[in-house]
Amino acid sequence: MKKIIYFDVEEYEKDFLTKNNEGIYNYTLISEPLNSMTQIPNELLDAEIISVFTTSRVTADVLKNFKNLKLIALRSVGFNHIDLEYCKTNKISVVNTPNYGNKSVAEFAFGLMLNVCRKIIPAETDYKNMIIKPETLMGTELGGKTIGIIGLGAIGAAFARLAFGFDMKILGYDLYPNKELIEKYNIEYTDFETILKESDFISLHAPLTKDNFHLFNAEAFKKMKKNAVIINTARGELIDSEALYNAITTGEILGAGLDVLESENTINDFDLVIGLNRLTKDELKNTLINSRLFQLPNVIITPHMAYNTNEAIERILNTTMENIKSFITDKVQNSVIK
């Protein structure tokens, strides 16, 4: 019987995982993420399969503890939190759950954009506190504005559909232009510089790679419109947090809607919060900057929850179990290692 450890397990996942593992696999459910601080009982270190979410940080040092590991089943699309080079070298398969949250993430990103440009959250907070000053809550319409979309894969395409419905002019930046999207939503594919200079709003839907780390840096923000708003539901490291903070506080851009942050695990992982001595210099700096971003009135930050709908969670769990079953029968599906 295969031994599986599921990390990052939420309460709402436990019934599903129990039902689909009981009597089939030797399984363990652990609510904590997997990282360098996770205390794993010795009797679990011979697991052949582990499953993690994006809150885990699966480095080579972590993986060295699992001597029999053959598969990492991700409950996510992204895989930048996994040391793929170590996995390649040690013949560990890594599979993900693609297309589970296309609509969920796109709708949430659009919600962030609406909230920032129409100041919905500040308005609701003020009204509850009996502060009625409409002049401080002046917003801007989306219709007729230009939206730049970075990454037009499944999620970016779903976002484009919403933008088209709001009568926005759509600029797209992607390595592989999609003719169907041009026909459906009048998308104008262009270069990164044009996106920066002409967009009123920019929404990020690209995977994180070594080539686009800090794609939005100080130089990029200087080229954007002063009334521009940036939305990020992809990966925090696409944006240089310090450059973003400076751009907003100096008026280079207007604001941001962020569901992801650089070094966000230092916020939501209690072990890291109390073990600050384990953080790198960059992680400590990002943690400080994130705390400052939280304080800005024209920035909305949510806890990496764009994917979090009933429908998306169901797709994640079903695909995860299908990936594991396929692997055991020597049919690897949804591999992220090419």
Q: Which residues are catalytic?
A: 235, 264, 304
Give, as one character, the DSSP assignment of residue 33.
P
| Contact between 95 and 327 (Cβ < 8 Å) | yes
326 CB-contact burial (10 Å; exposed 0-12 / middle 13-18 / buried 19+): middle
Other CB atoms within a 10 A radius of the CB of residue 271 amount to 15
Helix (H) or strand (E) holding 122: helix 120-128
Task: Provide the strand spans (E) within the chain.
Answer: 3-6, 26-29, 49-52, 71-74, 93-95, 146-150, 169-173, 188-189, 201-204, 229-232, 255-258, 299-301
Tokens of 95: 């599979």
DSSP classification of residue 77: S
Of 88, 95, 91, which Cα lies nearest the Cα of 73? 95
d(CA 319, CA 73): 10
